[in-house]
Structure 1
Amino acid sequence: MRQIKTPKHVSPQASWQPYALTTVAVTACAVAGAAAVNPDSTWYRGLEKPRWQPPSWAFGAVWTPLYASIAWAGGRALHRARGDDRRGLAAGVGANLALNAAWNWMFFGCRSPKAGLLGTLALDVSNAELIRRTTRIDRTAGRSLLPYAAWCAFATALNASIVRRNPA
């Protein structure tokens, strides 16, 4: 695995810009996704869920540091990447965040656990690609995305269990 070297002469102003960009993108993702979520809706409360589903408050408690890690890892890797690697990483982060927000709309907005499962499976594939691409640029940034991928894999298992319990 090749590591991309950061040029030695990078302006101080340029060093914070990738972090600002990823922070804005992650915040937009969180806001867009949250707009669809209503865990108190009659529809959602009526779904049969597994006993191992975390309580509603746990999702915010987990997503806050995960979103922070995505912004940090993306900013760090974008700061180090150049040329095609930078463009590819920026596109990968954007696609990943779009899939992240889309899951909420697929599951809650469409009131469809099956659509949500398709969305979370696509997000899992995107996570693997984002980790691969990020790690190629910066191993530390890539490793910091592992908890995000693990939580999304857990969410996929949870979503699949809800689909099995609610076949209609």
Structure 2
Amino acid sequence: MTGRLLGDLDTSAPDRSLSPASRAKDMPRASELTDAAASTGGWSPVAALGLVGLVLGASALVGRRNAPDRTHPTIRRWYQRLDKPDITPPDAVFGAVWPALEVGLAVGGYRLLRRPSSARRDVAVALWLGNSAMIGGWSELFFRRKRLGASAAASGAMLASGAALVATAARVDRTAAVTAMPYVGWLGFATLLAERIRRDNPARGR
């Protein structure tokens, strides 16, 4: 009886269901985990567009408030009386360049927000928000408060922060980094210009 029971057991084929090879086969591959992670964590298109729109709107309001145009005659007269170097572009160039640069930053910001959440992505987003805020802060310092020294220093800080944005964004989304490069290039020129204006107008601002 015992022999018959033992004989009914199939001992010729070992159970492979718990073998290391079987368990490894059933485990998800690293690429599958990466793909799953990449599909989560980013902002939705609506939320990302909403934040980008708020940033652009706030920047436009601050810039409009400090614009040296005919709607702000006091600011306009002060700016026209400054001693400016020959490399200073016409007012129309400033009016065209800055909106284009800010739109480029906004495109990069949208792409960063849509990327999966990570420490590196979050730093890049913070740098984008910081640079967007500093654009308005610079116009407040220069045009409204007439702080030539402070605005020149702020321009240098923006240049460093913009370069950090490009370097950080390049490791998250290369297109976002590319969209910020014109901003950094222009800031190099703007910082030189702000320093020349500060130096040539010692009595007109600090």
Give the match for residue 4 of structure 2. none
2:92 equivalent to 1:62: no
Match runs of 1:1-168 below 5 Å: 7=37, 9=39, 14-39=44-69, 41-168=76-203
Bigger Rg, which one:
2
Q: Using the alignment, how far apart are the partners of 1:166 and 1:153 within structure 2?
A: 20
How many residues end up aligned between the 2 structures?
A: 164
Provide the TM-score with structure 1 as the length reference.
0.85
Q: Using the alignment, how far apart are the partners of 1:116 and 1:79 within structure 2?
A: 33
* Letter in structure 1 aligned against 2:96: A
Would you tell me which structure has more helix in proportion to its own residues? 1
Cα offset, 1:68, TM superposition: 1.1
Query: After TM superposition, where is structure 1 displaced by more than 4 Å over at least 4 residues in a row?
Result: 4-8
Rate the CA distance shift 1:5–1:99 in 2: closer, same or farther, 3 A: farther
Cα offset, 1:63, TM superposition: 1.5
- Kindly, what percent of the aligned residue pairs are identical? 31
Cα offset, 1:81, TM superposition: 3.6
Query: Whose relative contact order is higher, 1 or 2, with alpha carbons under 8 Å and at least 6 apart?
Result: 1
Q: Could you give the per-residue CA deviations for residues 68-91 of structure 1, whole angstroms, max 9, x where no partner exists? A: 111101111221141323432332
Q: Using the alignment, how far apart are the partners of 1:20 and 1:65 within structure 2?
A: 19
Alignment check: 8 A CA contact 1:19 1:76 kept: no
Cα offset, 1:17, TM superposition: 2.8
Q: Using the alignment, how far apart are the partners of 1:129 and 1:6 within structure 2?
A: 29
- Greater shift in the superposed pair: 74-83 or 44-53: 74-83
Cα offset, 1:8, TM superposition: 5.4
Q: Using the alignment, how far apart are the partners of 1:35 and 1:66 within structure 2?
A: 19
Alignment check: 8 A CA contact 2:85 2:197 kept: yes
Q: Could you give the per-residue CA deviations for residues 98-142 of structure 1, whole angstroms, max 9, x where no partner exists? A: 211110111111112111101111111110111112111011210
Provide the TM-score with structure 2 as the length reference.
0.71
RMSD (Å) for aligned C-alpha atoms:
2.4
Give the gaps of 5 or more residues in structure 2. 1-33
